[in-house]
C-alpha cells in the first residue's frame, strides 16, 4: 500500500545525481511542473527512502529547490541493494531518458561492487548482454571517450587500448579517437599490437640482443 509523504532532499537517497547547469535544471523543472499530477516514486526500507523514478526531474529540484519538501508516493519495500539498483536501472533505461552516466554508474556498481554478471543484469533489463558490457569502461578513461564509445559500440576496443601496456599514456588519446571515429577496428588493433610484440621479441629474444641495442 502506498502513502503520500512530503520528504526533504536530505531524506531521499538517489543512486546517481547528475551535475547539471542551472539553465538546464530550470528547463527540466518546468517540464516537471507541466506534468500534473506527477509524484516521485520512493521505496521506504529500514527508515530510509530510495528514489525509484523521476531521476532527471529530481536532479533539477535538488539543485534549484534544495529547501523544498518533495511530494512522494512511498511504498514499503524489502529489497537487497543489488535488487533495488536493478529496479532503478530498469526504470532509468526502459522508461526514462536518463543519460549514459546514470547507466554507467549503476551498471559498474552492480558488476564491480556487487559482483553481478552481465548476463543476469541484461536478462533483468530485457537487453542484450553486449548492451551491458558496453558500459564497462575504466573510470580513468576520459568521459568524452566513454560517452562516444558507448554510442559507437566501441567500448571493448577503447578498454583494450586503455589496458594495453605497450601504448604510452600520451598516445592513448590518439588511439581512442581513431577507435570512436571508425578508423581503427578490433582486428586492426590486434594486428598492430601483434606486430609490435613480434618486433619486441625478435630484439630481446636474440642471444646478442643487448649488444645490438648498445651498438
pLDDT at 97: 84
Q: What is the pLDDT confidence band of residue 19, given thresholds at 50, 70 and 90? A: confident
Question: At a CB cut-off of 8 Å and minimum separation 6, what does 146 contact?
Answer: 100, 104, 137, 158
pLDDT for position 41: 95
Q: What is the 3-state secondary structure (H, E, C) of 113-141?
A: HCCCCHHHHHHHHCCCHHHHHCCCCCCCC
The average confidence (pLDDT) of the chain is 88
Res 81 pLDDT > 60: yes
Grid look-up 554507467 returns 104
Assign residue 46 a region: left if phi > 0, alpha if psi is -120 to 50, beta otherwise? left
pLDDT tens, position by position, 1-10: 899 999 999 9
* Strands lying side by side in the sheet with 12-13: 2-7, 70-76, 40-45, 48-51, 12-13
DSSP assignments along 13-49, one per residue: E-S------HHHHHHHHHHHHHSSS--EEEEEETTEE
In sequence order, the β-bridge partners of residue 41 are: 73
pLDDT given at position 138: 96
Contacts of 111 (CB under 8 A, 6+ apart): 117, 118, 121, 136
Nearest 10 degrees: Cα torsion 129, 132, 138, 139: -170
Grid coordinates representing 141?
578513461
Overall average pLDDT of the 35-54 stretch: 88
Phi and psi (nearest 5°) for 206? -75, 140
At 171, phi and psi to the nearest 5? -100, -15
Of 209 and 130, which is predicted with more confidence?
A: 130
pLDDT at position 14 over 80: yes
- Whether the model clears a pTM of 0.75, i.e. scores above it, the answer is yes
Please give the pLDDT value at position 197: 61
Amino acid at each position: 500500500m502506498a502513502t503520500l509523504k512530503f520528504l526533504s532532499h536530505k531524506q531521499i537517497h538517489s543512486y546517481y545525481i547528475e551535475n547539471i547547469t542551472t539553465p538546464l535544471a530550470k528547463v527540466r523543472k518546468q517540464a516537471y511542473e507541466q506534468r500534473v499530477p506527477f509524484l516521485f516514486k520512493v521505496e521506504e526500507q529500514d527508515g530510509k527512502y530510495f528514489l525509484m523514478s523521476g531521476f532527471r526531474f529530481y536532479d533539477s529540484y535538488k539543485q534549484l529547490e534544495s529547501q523544498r519538501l518533495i511530494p512522494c508516493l512511498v511504498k514499503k519495500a524489502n529489497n537487497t541493494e543489488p535488487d533495488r539498483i536493478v529496479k532503478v536501472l530498469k526504470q532509468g533505461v526502459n522508461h526514462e531518458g536518463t543519460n549514459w552516466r546514470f547507466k554507467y554508474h549503476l551498471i559498474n556498481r552492480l558488476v564491480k561492487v556487487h559482483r553481478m554478471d552481465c548476463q543476469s543484469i541484461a536478462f533483468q533489463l530485457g537487453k542484450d548482454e553486449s548492451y551491458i558490457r558496453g558500459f564497462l569502461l575504466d573510470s580513468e578513461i576520459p568521459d568524452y571517450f566513454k560517452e562516444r564509445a558507448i554510442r559507437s559500440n566501441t567500448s571493448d576496443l577503447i578498454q583494450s587500448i586503455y589496458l594495453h601496456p605497450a601504448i604510452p599514456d600520451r598516445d592513448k588519446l590518439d588511439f581512442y579517437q581513431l577507435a570512436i571515429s571508425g578508423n581503427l577496428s578490433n582486428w586492426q588493433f590486434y594486428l598492430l599490437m601483434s606486430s609490435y610484440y613480434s618486433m619486441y621479441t625478435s630484439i630481446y629474444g636474440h642471444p646478442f640482443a643487448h649488444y645490438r641495442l648498445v651498438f
